[in-house]
């Protein structure tokens, strides 16, 4: 990836689009500080963001390509109960996560991001495996994040129907 | 961090097969040595410290593959590195969990195994004293090797090849301390190695985890 430049204000949402292998996930990992930037820099409030990786990490709500859900643990052991309520998983709170469907695991991963209330969400294909009702629930979470003044950068193949979003095509 | 250690312990208990397999391997391998060496108590008592040390070392390797492998595959490693904790702190927590679920049980079972191998009772405390830093070193260096092998193809083959050479010095000084008439010097060396590994191994493990995530 070359010549990528963008800025995001409080409440901003940036959607990353592009074909498979275009570098959407790599860009998200670089923004999180998981993968080093070959050149260029990343700023937060006009200060270098990646000089203190732990401090930068503390700003980020991360949803990767994988759900990071442990099958042997229950949802309540992985996400606070308030987070489960955000995605409608309260009734599965004490069921081992191996019994959850792929969509429910994705919702659990989204709940982990939402409940942490970090200022920047980096989401890699957040709607994968979600049904239409769950996508609406996800859009509500995005609106709440925006209302708090948080920012979202998400890679997605499917359209996300939120007003005032920027789109970066890779 | 205590919450993370508690969560990892809960996961280890629910995946208890790995720790139990390591303990069973320890007992069975020790018993095989006894059967192979024959019933002579003198021979058995002479080889007992070495047998206990070698089998404990090999048993400690068994759960290492699952220390970071599942976290790497299911995306948890990324979350851990973005948790805001330094990578060496995550490594330290994983080392503590490995020692509590593998090293400590090995230390507890080593006593009965050594007695079965006809180790004289008066030599048992010294053997256990050497195994205390020994198992801690196994966990520290084993965690480092597990992190180095994380994400590598055929990591399960790579891991013992990295770990075993790293553990040879502790094996030499540990068995020397357990069998020598003057155990102070090798025991000091063993503790010195532990003191060196305590800060260095988690730092190296943290760097290896960051490299694996890249």
Interface test with A, best of B78, B87, B206 (most A CBs within 10 A): B78
Q: Which pLDDT value is given to residue A120?
A: 94
The Cα of A154 is separated from the nearest Cα of chain B by a number of Å equal to 16
Q: Which domain holds residue B40?
A: 2-213
Superfamily of domain A13-35+49-169: P-loop containing nucleotide triphosphate hydrolases (3.40.50.300)
Question: At a CB cut-off of 8 Å and minimum separation 6, what does B90 contact?
Answer: B4, B80, B81, B83, B206, B209
Check pLDDT > 90 for residue B132: yes
Instruction: Select from A34, A67, A77 the Cβ nearest to the Cβ of B81.
Output: A34
Given an 8 Å threshold on Cβ–Cβ distance, is B84 in contact with A57?
yes
The conformational region for residue A61 under phi > 0 = left, psi -120 to 50 = alpha, else beta, is beta
Boundaries of every domain in chain A:
13-35+49-169
Question: At a CB cut-off of 8 Å and minimum separation 6, what does A137 contact?
Answer: A86, A87, A88, A107
How many Cβ pairs within 8 Å bridge chains A and B? Answer: 53
The Cα of B8 is separated from the nearest Cα of chain A by a number of Å equal to 10
pLDDT, averaged across chain B: 91
The Cα of B211 is separated from the nearest Cα of chain A by a number of Å equal to 9
Binding-site residues on chain A for chain B (CB distance < 8 A) = 29, 32-36, 54-55, 57-58, 60, 62, 64-70, 72-73, 77, 112
Output the 3-class SS for chain B.
Answer: CHHHHHHHHHHHHHCCHHHHHHHHHHHHHHHHHHHHHCCCHHHHHHHHHHHHHHHHHHHHHHHHHHHHHHHHHHCHHHHHHCCCCCHHHHHHHHHHHHHHHHHHHHHHHHHHHHHHCCCCHHHHHHHHHHHHHHHHHHHHHHHHHHHHHCCCCCHHHHHHHHHHHHHHHHHHHHHHHHHCCCCHHHHHHHHHHHHHHHHHHHHHHHHHHHHHHC
Instruction: Select from A34, A64, A68 the Cβ nearest to the Cβ of B214.
Output: A34
What is the per-residue pLDDT across B133-156, written as a single tens digit (0 to 9) for each? 999 999 999 999 999 988 777 777
pTM: 0.88
Q: Which long-range contacts (CB under 8 A, 24 or more apart) does B84-89 make?
A: B84/A54, B84/A55, B84/A57, B84/A58, B85/A54, B85/B1, B85/B4, B86/A54, B86/B206, B87/B205, B87/B206, B87/B207, B87/B209, B87/B210, B88/B202, B88/B203, B88/B205, B88/B206, B89/B1, B89/B202, B89/B206
Instruction: Select from A57, A66, A69 the Cβ nearest to the Cβ of B81.
Output: A57
What is the per-residue pLDDT across B33-68, written as a single tens digit (0 to 9) for each? 888 888 888 888 899 999 999 999 999 998 888 889
**Number of domains within chain B:** 1
The Cα of A63 is separated from the nearest Cα of chain B by a number of Å equal to 8
Given an 8 Å threshold on Cβ–Cβ distance, is B14 in contact with A66?
no
pLDDT band at A46 (very low <50, low <70, confident <90, very high): confident
Instruction: Select from B11, B76, B84 the Cβ nearest to the Cβ of A54.
Output: B84
The Cα of B203 is separated from the nearest Cα of chain A by a number of Å equal to 15
**R_g (Cα) of chain B, nearest Å:** 18
Check pLDDT > 80 for residue A1: no
Q: Could you tell me which of B53, B69, B82 has the C-alpha nearest to residue B145?
A: B69
Average pLDDT over residues A22-42: 89
Determine the residue of chain B that is closest to A112 in CA distance. B79
Given an 8 Å threshold on Cβ–Cβ distance, is A68 in contact with B82?
no
What is the per-residue pLDDT across B171-211, written as a single tens digit (0 to 9) for each? 999 999 998 888 899 999 999 999 999 999 999 999 999 99
């Amino acid at each position: 990836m070359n010549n990528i430049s963008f800025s995001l204000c409080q409440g901003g949402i940036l959607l990353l689009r592009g074909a498979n292998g275009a570098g959407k996930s790599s860009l998200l990992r670089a923004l999180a500080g998981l993968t080093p930037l070959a050149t260029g820099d990343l700023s937060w409030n006009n200060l270098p963001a990646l000089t203190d990786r732990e401090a930068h990490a503390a700003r980020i709500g991360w949803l990767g390509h994988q759900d990071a859900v442990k099958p042997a643990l229950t949802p309540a052991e992985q996400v606070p109960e308030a987070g489960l309520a955000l995605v409608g998983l309260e009734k599965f709170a004490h069921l081992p996560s191996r019994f959850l469907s792929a969509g429910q695991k994705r919702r659990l991963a989204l709940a982990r991001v939402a409940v942490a209330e970090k200022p920047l969400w980096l989401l890699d294909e957040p709607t994968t495996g979600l049904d239409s009702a769950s996508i609406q629930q996800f859009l509500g979470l995005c609106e709440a994040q925006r209302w708090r003044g948080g920012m979202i950068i998400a890679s997605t193949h499917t359209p996300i129907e939120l007003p005032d979003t920027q789109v970066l095509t890779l | 961090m205590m919450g993370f250690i508690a969560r990892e312990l809960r996961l280890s208990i629910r995946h208890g097969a790995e720790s139990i397999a390591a303990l069973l391997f320890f007992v069975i391998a020790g018993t095989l040595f006894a059967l192979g060496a024959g019933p002579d108590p003198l021979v058995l008592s002479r080889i007992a410290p070495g047998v206990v040390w070698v089998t404990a070392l090999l048993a400690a390797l068994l759960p290492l593959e699952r220390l970071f492998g599942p976290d790497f595959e299911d995306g948890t490693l990324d979350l851990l590195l973005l948790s805001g904790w330094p990578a060496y702190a995550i490594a330290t927590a994983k080392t503590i969990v490995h020692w509590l679920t593998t090293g400590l049980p090995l230390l507890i079972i080593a006593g009965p195994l050594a007695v079965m191998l006809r180790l004289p009772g008066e030599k048992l405390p010294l053997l256990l004293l050497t195994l205390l830093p020994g198992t801690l070193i196994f966990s520290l260096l084993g965690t480092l090797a597990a992190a180095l092998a994380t994400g590598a193809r055929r990591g399960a083959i790579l891991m013992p090849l990295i770990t075993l050479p790293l553990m040879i010095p502790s094996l030499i000084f540990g068995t020397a301390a357990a069998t020598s008439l003057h155990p102070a010097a090798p025991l000091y060396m063993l503790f010195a190695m532990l003191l060196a590994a305590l800060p260095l191994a988690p730092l190296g493990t943290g760097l290896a985890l960051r490299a694996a995530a890249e």
